[in-house]
Amino acid sequence: MTKRIALIIHNQTYAEPKLAQLKLPAADAAALAELLRDPIVGNFDEVELAVNSPTAELRQRVTGLFQRKHRHDELLLYIVGHLLVDEAGQVHLATVDTHLDTLAETALSAGYLTDCMDRSFSRRQMLLLDGGCLRLNSIEWAADMRPTTVFKGRGYGRVVLTSVTGNDSMDEGQETDLTHHLIQALQTGAADADGDGQVELRELYEYLRQQTRQTSLRIYGKHEHFILARNPYHFIPVQPIKWDLISGAILAPATIIIIGGRADLRTAIGLAGLLLLMYALLYLAPD
C-alpha cells in the first residue's frame, strides 16, 4: 500500500557563534506539520518534526525516512535552515551542534542526504529547502553547486524546490519567508491554479515565485506531477436531479414490458434494459 511520509527539519538555534548571528527564516514548522497531517490538506500518513536536533539524530531520521520504502511511496523532506559551502566546495546543512572548523563531522552533508535518496526504492521524492546558502570563503558559486543541482543524485523521480540562492557570504545571511507563503497556499488552496483540487509542485512553484522571487525548482526523472497537498476549498458541484429522465427511465421500460411482454417477454426485457442504460448515460452526461 502506497504511503505518504514527511520529515520536517527545522534548525532555529546554533551553538556556533557565527551561525547564531545569522538571520533565520520566518518559519512555523509546527503549523506546516499540522497541515501535512490534515487528511483534507496534506493527507500524509506520517509526519515527523525535528526541531534543533543534533547532527547524529538527524542522520538517523533521514535514513529512516528513505530506507525500506516502496517504489510508489511519496516521501517529503522539508528543511528550514542554513546550507554551508566549505573551502572544498562541499555543501552541508548546519545543525544545532555544527562547528565551522569541523563541518564534515558536525554538519549534515548534502552528499549524505543525496546518498540516502539514491538508495531509496521510492521514486516519488520531494525535497524542499527554506533558508540561505552561505559561502565560508570567496569560492566561486559553480553551477553544479546550486541547491537544485547538488541534490540531483541519480536524478530519477525527484523534485527539488528551494528558496536558497547561494549568493550570501558568511557575514550576511538570508531571511526568507518561503514556509510562511507555503502555509498560506495550503490553508487557502491559492496554489491550485488549474482548480483540479490538487496542489502540484509546479503550481506551488509558480505561486511561491510570485510571493518570493528567490524560489527555484528542478524536477528529475519522468514523473512530472508531484502532488504535495489538496485544495481544502475545492468542491465538486452537485448535479441537479433530472426528474424528467428519472420518470422516463421508470415509465418507458415498464411500458415496453407491459405492451410487448405478451408477444416476447425476453425481447421486451432486453429492450427495457437497453432503454435503462440509455437513460443512465443521459443522466450522467454533463449539461
Domains of the chain, residue spans: 4-230, 243-284
Pairing of strands 83-85, 108-109: unpaired
Give me the tens of pLDDT residue by residue for the chain, a chain 287 residues long: 789 999 999 998 999 998 988 877 777 999 999 999 999 999 999 999 999 999 999 999 999 999 988 999 999 999 999 889 888 888 999 999 999 999 999 999 999 999 999 999 998 999 999 988 787 776 555 555 566 778 888 867 899 998 876 555 554 545 568 899 999 999 999 999 998 999 999 999 999 988 887 788 888 766 568 899 999 987 655 556 555 555 555 555 555 556 655 555 566 556 556 666 665 666 566 65
What local confidence, expressed as pLDDT, does residue 14 receive?
Answer: 93
* Beta bridge partner(s), residue 7: 48, 77
Give the span between the Cα atoms of 109 and 55, in whole angstroms.
10
Fold for the domain defined by 4-230? Rossmann fold (3.40.50)
Type of residue found at 241: I
Using the 8-state DSSP alphabet, how is residue 240 labeled? P
Give the span between the Cα atoms of 188 and 183, in whole angstroms.
9
Q: Kind and range of the H or E element at 224?
A: none
Q: Are 221 and 146 in contact (CB under 8 A)?
A: no
Burial readout 263-287 (b: 16 or more C-beta within 10 A, e: otherwise): eeeeebeebbeebeeebeeeeeeee
What local confidence, expressed as pLDDT, does residue 171 receive?
Answer: 44
Give the span between the Cα atoms of 179 and 42, in whole angstroms.
15
